[in-house]
Amino acid sequence: MHNNRKYNFGAGPATLPTSVLEEVKEELLDWKGRGLSVLEISHRTDEYTEIAVEAEQDFRDLLSIPSTYAVLFTHGGATLQNSAIPLNLSSPAGEVSYVNSGHWARLSIEEAKKYTNVKIAASSEEENFSSFPPQSTWEFSDKQDYIHITPNETIGGIALRKVEKENIPIVADFSSSILSEYVDIESFGLLYGGAQKNIGPAGLGFVIVDKELLGSAQETTPSPMNYFKLDESSSMYNTPPTFSWYVAGKVFKWLKGKGGVKAIGQVNERKAKKLYEFIDKSDFYSNKIEESSRSIMNIPFLLKKEELNSKFLTDSFNNGLLALKGHRSVGGMRASIYNAMPEEGVDALIEFMKLFEKENL
């Protein structure tokens, strides 16, 4: 740990690279010797345009995004896109399919119903969302406008880590897994998410969309949510979340310095494997997710004795391990181990869990 920094296992806003925070601190009052903060720079200036353009290019480089896809930086995180997606890609008379894989998929479904006709392509609700519905089970029509998935359910800890291209556009909420491992962009029509997990501070969202899908938004689509207008204005139809975008650019540089997505993916695999192996070998802790559907970003686990939950949270906090409480809808604990969580943070968590088990058998 660096100075008084503790390990933040929160689902989001999540831990950021310490080196990025130090850079931001260094530049905050006087950005590049200009006598003002980056917080005070107009988004219409050449200086900020340089920040924005460089951040987008680094994002493209990290994910190998083809030039046939637009990259948009937006307001409102992923939740706003739950409305924007059907408004841009469907119509009141149209039809779309959604895979119901858990909490965030359900919210996407309910929001889309306001703007178009929604069918459920597959669901794992009957299995209490302990696995991700296999792609081979999805039921949809070639006449539908798109099929939507949430390939990493932040709360439930289930994931679909490989997706094959379909005959209609696949739209995917990558909020909690973007940049965590390789993804074939061209398998999707649109990828989107909030920044506050693997990219930067809250307030910023991203959309990666096949340009062929632009230009057919519903007439009632608010202009700041219209993907064609956002692309046309380089994501600056109105004032963007400038500070979050600036920090995101620094995170992209940090990730490039770590060797990019392939390299961080190997680290993420290793971190998750350590924690899952410890939980699986323990009689005191458990994880209910099928092995083939386990997330490498969000790992929920239960204690054998539920009455010890409060003590676990208090003791872990006192040991510098923060935000391990599971979501209220599933209970238990959850460790979110995004890109910026160092491997030694996972090691520290495992050592604490061993000690807690020994002291509370």
Q: Where does the pLDDT of residue 278 fall: very low under 50, low under 70, confident under 90, or very high at 90 and above? A: very high
Report how far residue 330's alpha carbon sits from residue 321's, in angstroms, rounded to the nearest whole number.
20
DSSP track, 64-132: T--TTEEEEEEESHHHHHHHHHHHHH--TT-EEEEEE-SHHHHHHHHHHTTTSEEEEEEE-GGGTT-SP
Helices 46-63, 260-281: crossing angle, 10 deg rounding? 60
Tokens 């501070």 — which residue? 201
Q: What is the mean pLDDT of residues 188-199?
A: 98
Catalytic-labelled residue, pool 145, 197, 254, 271:
197
Cα three-residue angle 264-159-166, rounded to 5 degrees: 100
Domain with CATH 3.90.1150.10 in the chain: 260-359
Domain with CATH 3.40.640.10 in the chain: 34-257
CA-to-CA dists, residue 264 to 127, 150, 225, 252, 256, angstroms: 32, 21, 32, 12, 9
Q: In what order do the strands lie in the sheet with 95-100?
A: 69-75, 204-210, 190-194, 170-173, 147-149, 95-100, 117-123
| DSSP structural state of residue 148 | E
Alpha-helical (H) ranges within 155-293 are 227-232, 242-257, 260-281
Residues of the chain above pLDDT 70, percent = 99
For residue 361, the model assigns a pLDDT of 86
Beta bridge partners of 302: 286
pTM of the model: 0.97
The yes-or-no verdict on residue 2 having pLDDT over 80 is no
- For the stretch 38-83, pLDDT in tens is 999 999 999 999 999 999 999 999 999 999 999 999 999 999 999 9
Catalytic-labelled residue, pool 31, 104, 245, 254:
104
For residue 191, the model assigns a pLDDT of 99
Report how far residue 206's alpha carbon sits from residue 74's, in angstroms, rounded to the nearest whole number.
6
Residue among 72, 41, 38 nearest 191 (CA): 72
* Contacts of the segment 214-220: beta carbons below 8 A, 24+ positions apart: 214/70, 214/88, 216/88, 216/89, 217/87, 217/88, 218/87, 218/88, 218/90, 218/91, 218/92, 218/115, 220/87
Residues of the chain above pLDDT 90, percent = 98
* 104 belongs to the catalytic site: yes
- For the stretch 87-110, pLDDT in tens is 999 999 999 999 999 999 999 999
Amino acid letter, residue 297: M
Residue among 247, 177, 264 nearest 16 (CA): 247
DSSP track, 201-221: STTEEEEEEEGGGTT---TTS
CA-to-CA dists, residue 53 to 48, 68, 71, 99, 229, angstroms: 9, 17, 11, 34, 17
- CATH 3.40.1410.10 describes domain 260-359: no
- CATH 1.10.10.10 describes domain 34-257: no
CA-to-CA dists, residue 244 to 274, 289, 310, 357, angstroms: 32, 33, 34, 40
Residue among 264, 249, 101 nearest 178 (CA): 264
Report how far residue 12's alpha carbon sits from residue 139's, in angstroms, rounded to the nearest whole number.
32
Residue among 183, 39, 90 nearest 193 (CA): 183
Sequence-distant (≥ 6) Cβ neighbours of residue 237 within 8 angstroms: 223, 224, 226, 229, 230
The yes-or-no verdict on residue 305 having pLDDT over 80 is yes
Residue among 103, 102, 131 nearest 289 (CA): 131
Catalytic-labelled residue, pool 173, 231, 250, 325:
173
The yes-or-no verdict on residue 185 having pLDDT over 90 is yes
For residue 3, the model assigns a pLDDT of 65
